[in-house]
Amino acid sequence: MSNNINKAKWIWVMGDFELYHSILLHSRREEFGIDLPHFWDLSTPYPNVSFSKNFSAKEDTSFKVFAHGKGYLTLDDVRHRLNEDVFVSKGDHSVSVFVISDGLGLPCIYINSEYLKTDTTWTSTHMTSQIHPVGAYPEYFEPTDNPEIFKFEYEEIIPKSVKKSKNKLVADFGKETFAVLKLDNAKADTEYEVFYGESLEEATDTEYTLVHIKISGQTSYTLSGRAFRFINIQGIDADKINIKAEYEFLPLKDRAYFSCNNKKVSNIWNICAYTFHLNSREFFLDGIKRDRWVWSGDAYQSYMANNYLFFNNEITKRTILALLGKPPYEQHINTINDYSMYLLIAIKEYYDNTGDIDFINFVWPRAKALYDFISSRTNEKDYICARPGDWIFIDWSEMDKSGPFCAEQILYWQTKNSMAKLAELAGEDSEPYTKSAATLKKSIMKDFWSSEKGAFIDCYTSGLNNVTRHANIFAVIYDFVCKTKSRSIYKNVLENDNITQITTPYFEFFQLIAYCKLGDIKHMQNKFESYWGGIVAQGATSIWEQYIPSRKGAEHYEMYGMKYGCSQCHAWGSGPIYLLGKYCLGVSPSSVGYKTFTVKPKLGKYKTIKGCVPLPEGEVYVEYTKDKKLHVKATASGGKLIWKGQEYELVKDEEIIV
């Protein structure tokens, strides 16, 4: 991030930057040479806006307004043109700038004079009486900057190997990447086809390659950023082409690490972190090859991983704002019922981790409108149920969704609790949400809990009494049930091999949280090493969307009815960053915004551990050494170490050894 916090910056209506870039992002997907834009509703920036501020000039001066869009400014009610010097006399003044975009654009302005600068002290409207705060990022601080272009950094990369045959070139860049491909020494009168592959099989099995393009008419090319490890170029004299790339990335700093006596663990952790880097771009993406979209369920897990790797609030807020859009809501987020609820739960959890009340106040009207939409589509028992256009997802697994589905109801209960807290923070009455949550819980326990099975069933209306892991996992991780029922779920579901196994890192992550909350750290560690380690053992350089251990070779790449449909770099594979940081190193907040926090390490099966966990301000370092000594140091105040039943105050910057 830039150090230009106190400088003049480009400003826009708060939230509109995210909506603008969300539209651009969701229009970039490609499959089999065809553009495949998103299939859900997206909100747009306000096309015509005004920006206002009162200011005082200590002497005669002038300023100029730079803008994206057409319009004018008024200084003390006198109109002036944009992009021209405007004289200002000594004294107090009021200025308003009116901007309209006559296409898809982001109305925004920039002023940098001695007594008048654009920053977040301005206000805005979209030509109504409603006043909005303005948004700004320190990266956009020069008059030549363009907020309609998202700023990435670039680093040149070259292939690790290039194999050439007649009219064909296959390059291996050594690991998964997202990069701008650069080609030269091509023939302008020749058409080339470029096949992108996350695997060698995908790049060379050209009939089924998911992402491929045709190029012609130039001797050199700079192609749009795409995901790949392998590149296959075919065409006359393709073997004569020179190839390199520029890795495109957001410069987020790793503030965490983890290792233990098992050396493979550190490698797997690093691959999880690299996977997360690749998917942390304008927003948290699902995967960098196939979708490159923002999915609320994927993002929900990314918020958690972020807090244990980067602790970067800006990308979390950007993602929330892009997903939340603007009312009125006419469909669920990404069309998925559970994804609407994850978003509201995530907003509350964002506050828990940051204490950012300004953000809560801004998003509250939108969050409330989304909740009202969700609740308007429930049945007579206030159960989430499928309506036309809805997608009851939860996970890629066989489940009984023939009627109200238990996992959705527990998620809805947690949503109501989250809304109660958000309402309280916004200064509104939280009691309706609290009462509604209590009523819903009674209904769920009556209709879905099976004493015979010692677990929750999927659906009570079908008569099948089918038990899957998902609802039971939610019941544990959201503290929906008491300890006795949690232990019953542990025995009858989590440890029952007859219950259908999880096949995605997505829900495996939730399952491992459940194990950790039930005190079984070793199970989390074993699964981390076997499941995630199993992916890495296949030669993966980033974590996959799905892993079914029984599959062999290129079978792993199949998904969604496509031979290479499985994403080989999926953000929801980064969950171990959170699991090892929170439950093994044991760092978690004990009050809002980490004003106080606890460090409660659990070795599990490991004999030594060493790691770092970021805080909003500072880090926590934890190490358990071969001589059986625990070393803990926090570079922030408010920490408490809990170890072997004893509590120790952590003094800022002082190491404690026990």
Domain boundary among 249, 278, 310: 249
> pLDDT grade, residue 2 (50/70/90)?
very low
Count the neighbouring beta carbons within 10 Å of the beta carbon of residue 409. Answer: 26
Q: Kindly state whether residue 384 falls inside one of the protein's structural domains.
A: no
The pLDDT assigned to 102 comes to 86
The pLDDT assigned to 3 comes to 56
93 and 37 in a common domain: yes
130 and 18 in a common domain: yes
Q: Kindly state whether residue 300 falls inside one of the protein's structural domains.
A: no
Whether pLDDT at 587 is above 50: yes
The pLDDT assigned to 524 comes to 96
Q: Kindly state whether residue 266 falls inside one of the protein's structural domains.
A: no
16 and 131 in a common domain: yes
191 and 111 in a common domain: no
Q: Kindly state whether residue 88 falls inside one of the protein's structural domains.
A: yes
208 and 178 in a common domain: yes
103 and 44 in a common domain: yes
Nearest Cα neighbor of 484 from 511, 447, 455, 459 is: 455
113 and 39 in a common domain: yes
The CATH number linked to 121 is 2.60.120.260
DSSP string, 357-416: HHHHHHHHHHHHHHHHHHHTTB-TTS-B---TT-B--S-SS----SSS-HHHHHHHHHHH
Q: Kindly state whether residue 110 falls inside one of the protein's structural domains.
A: yes
Q: Decide the pairing of beta strands 597-599 and 639-643.
A: parallel
Strand partners, 611: 258, 622
127 and 57 in a common domain: yes
Q: What is the mean pLDDT of residues 604-611?
A: 98
165 and 98 in a common domain: no
Distance CA 148, CA 138 (A): 14
652 and 601 in a common domain: yes
Domain boundary among 199, 216, 249: 249
The pLDDT assigned to 437 comes to 98
SS3 39: coil
> pLDDT grade, residue 1 (50/70/90)?
very low
Q: Kindly state whether residue 56 falls inside one of the protein's structural domains.
A: yes
Q: Which residues contact residue 186 at a Cβ distance below 8 angstroms, ignoring those fewer than 6 apart?
A: 192, 215, 218, 219, 220, 221, 241
Number of domains in the chain: 3
DSSP string, 172-234: EEEEEEEEEEEEES--TT--EEEEEESSHHHHH-TTT-SEEEEE-S-SEEEPPPEEEEEEEEE
Q: Kindly state whether residue 642 falls inside one of the protein's structural domains.
A: yes
196 and 127 in a common domain: no
Element (H, E) at 273: helix 263-278
Q: Kindly state whether residue 382 falls inside one of the protein's structural domains.
A: no
Domain boundary among 199, 234, 249: 249
**Exposed e or buried b per residue across 419-430, where buried means at least 16 C-beta atoms within 10 angstroms of its C-beta:** bbbbbebbeeeb
The pLDDT assigned to 140 comes to 97
The CATH number linked to 609 is 2.60.420
Encode pLDDT of 320-359 as tens digits.
999 999 999 999 999 999 999 999 999 999 999 999 999 9
Q: Is the pTM of this model over 0.85?
A: yes
Owning domain of residue 27? 12-135
104 and 43 in a common domain: yes
